[in-house]
Amino acid sequence: MELHTYRAKSMQEALSLVRRELGPDAAVLHTREVQLRRFFGCLRGPTQIEITAGRGVNVPSRLPLDDQENFMPPGEDDSPTYGRPRPATPASLLRSTRERPDNTPAVQEQISDLQAMVKELCKRSKGTGAGELPEELFHLFTSLIDADVSEELARELVDRLRHEVRGGELRDPLMLQARIARMIEADIRAAGPIALAPGKCRVAALVGPTGVGKTTTIAKLAANFHLKEKRRVGLITVDTYRIAAVEQLRTYADIIDLPMEVVSTPKEMRQAVGRMSDMDLVLIDTAGRSPKDEVRLQELKAFLTEAGTDEVHLVLSSVAAWRTLEQTAARFATVGTTALILTKLDEANGLGNVLPVLRSSRLPLSYLTDGQNVPDDIGIADSAHLAKLVLGMEGAEV
Ligand SMILES: Nc1nc2c(ncn2[C@@H]2O[C@H](COP(=O)(O)OP(=O)(O)OP(=O)(O)O)[C@@H](O)[C@H]2O)c(=O)[nH]1
Ligand SMILES: [Mg+2]
């Protein structure tokens, strides 16, 4: 058995080091946060994550399961296998050794030693420093990282959980997952669907960066309100910048059989909304805007002001990185956004990246979309459901 210690700036980096050097069967025995010192120990330096891991240790690996299944050591065989059996790798050999336990006294003794050592390490990791996690919480922590939750947030959630749960509860992974789901749920505010009122014309606009799915989502909303709920719906587009943008919306308007207007100036916008005042709902499609283009954002704001919008939904793609989502939401706040729509959930590998923007923007979530099909691939956002989606909990679909 070999034990190695790895240090890195983040847990993610430290885990990758373990994976790269020891493979997925490596058992992570201990993790802790290390405070580095500078200038001969006089000053506090940055903190680092330290992982003690070993290969050939007869304890279950704490690395996420996916990696254990897919791992093939670098250089062993990078070519596609196309149906032939995968060659025996050190990882698979280790697995097969475990499947046929060797009962010789020497091995038995080695196993007892290891078990005592692991017990000791686990005991140490339970009570001490803030960065050290019991086995069960460590597993939860790595699954949050795998779900694309930022390391900072994953740490915060797991730390809160550690302080809330009693000893016995730590052995119940389903209960731990349910508690984390409730914490995530508490950070997500649901806006509910676009609020129609009898005898009133509700005006809702969709804004956002280019290509996030604004026009497609307008078509889904229009079809659902008109065809399923039998409401009178009108469409207005301001998107005269992109060739074919008007035609894209007009095609949907023709298929669903809805009135549609194209406006080029804020004044025309006011007039168009006025002509549609007998509708239950007017949906405004806007041109995709770079969040960095302040001039275009101000122009967009002028259109929305003239429209007298009741709701301005910011449309963001759930595939974007969390920092991009946060920055985009902050920039678009200047046009008066009131709710958030997340699109392309079907394309996202994990949804943890959407949590920071839900927290920082304070925008409630109105709709989620998970495909290109009009009108089916859309749902009203629900906090509990999205929390389960983030955690990849069984049975959770948009
Ligand atoms: N996979 C997936 N694709 C989507 C979803 N919503 C929209 N799309 C696709 O994303 C592409 C862009 O959609 P649009 O509706 O044209 O996006 P937009 O925001 O109006 O784009 P611009 O007007 O150019 O800014 C199209 O191919 C859509 O079919 C979704 O939920 N999932
Ligand atoms: Mg569009």
Tell me the CA–centroid distance for residue 237 and ligand 2, in Å: 9
Return contacts of 151-156, CB within 8 angstroms, 24+ apart: 151/10, 151/11, 151/12, 153/352, 153/355, 153/356, 154/352, 155/11
Nearest alpha carbon, ligand 1 atom 10: 213
CA distance 88 to 91: 8
Token couple for 11: 């847990």
**pLDDT tens track, the chain, 398 positions:** 567 888 888 887 888 888 888 887 777 777 777 777 554 454 566 778 888 787 765 554 555 544 444 434 444 433 332 322 333 333 332 333 334 445 577 777 777 777 766 665 555 544 434 456 778 888 889 889 889 998 889 999 999 998 888 877 888 888 999 999 999 999 999 999 999 999 999 999 999 999 999 999 999 999 999 999 999 999 999 977 777 889 999 999 999 999 999 999 999 999 999 999 999 999 999 999 898 899 999 999 999 999 999 999 999 999 999 999 999 999 999 999 999 999 999 999 889 999 999 999 999 999 999 999 999 999 999 999 999 999 988 555 65
Tell me the CA–centroid distance for residue 208 and ligand 2, in Å: 9
Dihedral of alpha carbons 293, 298, 299, 300, sign: positive
E strands along 263-330, which residues? Answer: 281-285, 311-317
Find tokens 């490596």 and name the residue: 26
Say what the pLDDT of residue 92 is: 31
CA distance 134 to 122: 7
Say what the pLDDT of residue 394 is: 59
At 153, give phi and psi (nearest 5°): -70, -40
DSSP string, 201-243: -EEEEEE-STTSSHHHHHHHHHHIIIIIT---EEEEE---SST
Q: Is 323 helix (H, G, I), strand (E, B) or coil?
A: helix
Say what the pLDDT of residue 1 is: 56
Pocket of ligand 1 from Cβ distances under 6 Å: 210-216, 239, 242, 245, 288, 343-344, 346-347, 369-372, 377
Tens digits of per-residue pLDDT, 216-274? 999 999 999 999 999 999 999 997 777 788 999 999 999 999 999 999 999 999 999 99
CA distance 395 to 389: 9
Q: Is 185 helix (H, G, I), strand (E, B) or coil?
A: helix
Say what the pLDDT of residue 118 is: 64
CA distance 36 to 14: 16
- Give the ligand 1 atom nearest the CA of 377: 31
Nearest alpha carbon, ligand 1 atom 21: 211
Q: The pTM is what?
A: 0.72
Q: Could you give the C-alpha distances from 320 to 151, 327, 330, in angstroms and in order?
A: 17, 11, 15
Nearest alpha carbon, ligand 1 atom 29: 372
Say what the pLDDT of residue 393 is: 80
Tell me the CA–centroid distance for residue 298 and ligand 2, in Å: 19
Tell me the CA–centroid distance for residue 189 and ligand 2, in Å: 26
Ligand closest in space to the Cα of 249: 2
Tens digits of per-residue pLDDT, 319-363? 999 999 999 999 999 999 999 999 999 999 889 999 999 999 999
CA distance 26 to 8: 17
Say what the pLDDT of residue 40 is: 47
Minimal CA–CA distance to 316: which of 329, 303, 297, 331? 329
Q: Where are the domains of the chain?
A: 2-117, 202-382
- Is 202-382 CATH 3.40.50.300? yes
The strand pairing partners of 260, in sequence order, are: 235
Say what the pLDDT of residue 112 is: 74
Tell me the CA–centroid distance for residue 284 and ligand 2, in Å: 11
- Residue 34: how many CB atoms within 10 A of its CB? 15
Token couple for 199: 């005898």
Ligand 1 pocket test, candidate residues 210, 216, 300, most atoms within 8 A of CB: 216
Tell me the CA–centroid distance for residue 386 and ligand 2, in Å: 25
CA distance 341 to 186: 18
Say what the pLDDT of residue 89 is: 33
* Burial of residue 136 (number of CB atoms within 10 Å: 0-12, 13-18, 19+): middle
Q: Is the Cβ–Cβ distance between 341 and 314 less than 8 Å?
A: yes
